[in-house]
Each structure stands twice: as structure tokens, then as C-alpha cells.
Amino acid sequence: MNAYVLVAEDDVKQAEVIRRYLEREGHSSLVVHDGRAAIDEVRRRRPDLLVLDVMMPLVDGLDVCRVLRRECDVPVLMLTARSTEEDLLLGLDLGADDYMTKPYSPRELMARIRTLLRRARGATAAPDDPVLRIGALAIDPVRRTVELDGRQVVCTPGEFEILAAMAAEPERVFTRRQLLALTRGFDRYITERTIDVHVLNLRKKIEAVPRRPAYLQTVYGVGYKLMDGSRGR
């Protein structure tokens, strides 16, 4: 799984450690040391994944993520010295797909990168998988696209995994823990509120009235289910 990974990290020593580990994994990489350079490089040559430090000069990582999410769905793994749940949820709300706090294990970082790359490339999707249709929603697990009434909906890899997993079993109630297991592939320190953030972001994209969802419905005290939202339109 050779990939092109962009590393945006202003700490030169940490950036070099990441670059060397990526090289050992067979990936090519480019290191930049400020947020403006990260945005310019993503626009110039779309990477397969962006490793993004939060605290950077010129443009910080949160603003980088905010800008890029308006333009593309490149997977983003954020790195930060901030460890509060509020910081974590803010990063995810802006569209980051994963989040690691410093100090971290380079080996765990590589494991996270492998997982994000597999998800982004749809490694588990079979060539003959059908398009999943739920009301006006069409989820294509091969091309990894989502459409609503024929209009493309841009989803992050994490959002897509949740939607595709639920679309495969419409009306089934999923707990947050089940959705974490289906979309992450290994245990993480991130709480189940991660799923809540992704669901809130999905509702903004597919619901006519996000506060009264017709598709992604809450089952209080349990989790979520995906319904045929066209019935309530």
C-alpha cells in the first residue's frame, strides 16, 4: 500500500522521525513546516493522507483542516499537544479523521496511517458490491461516493464508513461502540462521542432539517439507525 503522505509539522525533529517511519513503510512523503505550505501542497498535488500538527505558524492546523474540507476529502490525521476532549471533538468537527496527542508512539502512528489509507482506498470493498440505496440516498462502496437526490455529498472517510455500514443494514439500531468497531478496526482512547460528532456532521450534509433528522435517527439510550428519509419529506 504505497502512498504519498504529506506531513505538516513545525517541529523539525518530529517531522524527520515521521518521515523516516513512512519511508520504512514504503511510502513517499513531503514535509512542510507551516499551515500555508500545507494548504498549497494539497492543492498542488493531492496527497493520499495528511498528517497535520495543530500548532503551526502562519495558519494553524485547525484552520488548515477547515479550509481543506471545503475543497477536498483528503484523509487528515491531526497531531497535537492538547489533550482535552473539547480539543479532540473540535478537530473531528472540522473534518479530521483521526487525532493523536503528543507524545505518541511512532509505531501507533503508523498503525493509524495504515488504517486511514485502507479506509480511504476501500480495500475491503468487492468489485461487484451494489450501490446501497436508502430513500434518496445512494452510497457506492466501490467508488466511495454518496449522492442525495443525484447531488454529490462530500464526506470524510470516517463519515463515509459510518454511513456505508448503516446503509448495509437499514433500520438496524447500532450502538456507538458497534459503529466504532466497524469503522476503526482497533481499540482507541477516543471516546464514543467521536461517533456523535460524525453523525452531527452527516446530518448537516444529508438532512433537510438537521435538528429533525429523517435519515440518521437517534435511538435514545442506545445509538443510531438509518431510515428511509424520503418517507418523511
Average pLDDT over residues 126-153: 83
Lowest model confidence (mean pLDDT) among 49-53, 183-187, 221-225, 228-232: 183-187
Q: Is the pLDDT of residue 128 over 60?
A: no
Asked if 130 and 111 count as a contact pair (C-beta separation under 8 A), the reply is no
Average pLDDT over residues 205-222: 92
Which tops the pLDDT comparison, 90 or 179? 179
Strands 137-140 and 132-134: antiparallel
According to the model, what pLDDT value does residue 122 have?
62
Query: Per-residue pLDDT tens for 54-113?
Result: 999 999 989 999 899 888 888 999 898 876 666 666 777 777 888 888 888 888 889 888
Query: What is the average pLDDT value for the chain, to the nearest integer?
Result: 84
Task: Return phi, psi of residue 18, to 5°.
Answer: -60, -45
According to the model, what pLDDT value does residue 87 have?
66
| pLDDT band for position 30 (cuts 50, 70, 90) | very high
| pLDDT band for position 47 (cuts 50, 70, 90) | very high
230 contact partners, CB below 8 Å, separation of at least 6: 135, 136, 214
According to the model, what pLDDT value does residue 231 have?
54
Measured distance CA(92)–CA(190) in Å, rounded: 11
Q: What is the pTM for the complete model shown?
A: 0.60
Q: Is the pLDDT of residue 185 over 50?
A: no
Measured distance CA(58)–CA(198) in Å, rounded: 28
Q: Is the pLDDT of residue 159 over 70?
A: yes
Which tops the pLDDT comparison, 219 or 99? 219
